[in-house]
Structure 1
Amino acid sequence: MQYDNKIVKQMYFVAIHLFFFIINNKGPNQKVAFRRIKPCFI
């Protein structure tokens, strides 16, 4: 259960960051922001 909880927390963390990056970078910078976040997800 602890391991599953960790994954859920990480997914929420990534989702929140993606959400803010998309709001802050409307345009071509979205792809750059996604590349920055992707390593954190893995």
Structure 2
Amino acid sequence: MVKQPLDIDIGMDHIREAVRPYPRAAMFELRDDGFGSPFEQLVA
């Protein structure tokens, strides 16, 4: 059985589609809300 070469672009497209229905990670949401430093995110 011959394996096909990995196409990273197709793989990333599949991952993006799979996680689309889920909310973004809280770390990124806090950053977008103005809590930029790790300390600010820790105490938020």
Q: Same fold (TM over 0.5)?
A: no
TM-score range, shorter chain: 0.3 to 0.5
TM-score (norm 1): 0.37
The higher-RCO structure (CA 8 Å, 6+ apart) is: 1
User: What is the TM-score normalised by the length of structure 2?
Assistant: 0.36
